[in-house]
Amino acid sequence: MIVKRLIALLCALVLCLAGLSAWAEEEILVEGGEGMRMMIGETPVTVEWEDNEAVEALRALASASLPAEGSFSAEDTVPAEGLTIEMSMYGGFEQVGDIGQSLPRDDAQTTAVSGDIVLYAGDQLVVFYGSNSWAYTRLGHITDQTPEQMEQLLGHGDVTITLTAE
């Protein structure tokens, strides 16, 4: 794990020196959610993922392989296009979507703010563009969007979120 982090840091340094710092920032993700990207509709967002079992399980879902057409052998799989979650507006401060299965949870009373990503009831992904207090499992926080930008992304109708593991 340490070697992997050192390699990632060296790659980031090289990319920064080459003038590709924006790309490097997008590629180097934090422990716990290593290699997982999030898109809200067509907009990629930068997420600082928590280091917990729920994030690891989510990343595993986002990286699941699908059987090749006409095959059910593990040797004949093709990469999935990621995990797509259809979200719905709720309460005027969040978007909520069914993940499709329960993830490990460690709920704690939390005041979520704009940009927070949490797990609700073990099987619901919630992304906030406002604030709310409830018992959630923290998954991450969107770091490259202001509260106003989060409102624009999430506050005007249902959206689709795509998680992709790399």
pLDDT tens readout for residues 132-166: 999 999 999 999 999 999 999 999 999 999 999 97
Q: 3 with 72, same domain?
A: no
Helix, strand, coil tally for the chain in percent (to 5): 25, 35, 35
Domain that holds residue 1: 1-30
CA distance 137 to 86: 20
CA distance 57 to 30: 16
pTM: 0.73
Q: 51 with 18, same domain?
A: no
Res 3: pLDDT: 36
CA distance 1 to 7: 10
In this prediction, residue 34 has a pLDDT band, given cuts at 50, 70 and 90, of low
Decide if pLDDT at 119 tops 50.
yes
Res 166: pLDDT: 76
Q: 67 with 15, same domain?
A: no
Decide if pLDDT at 39 tops 50.
yes
Q: 39 with 107, same domain?
A: yes
* Domain total in the chain: 2
CA distance 133 to 85: 23
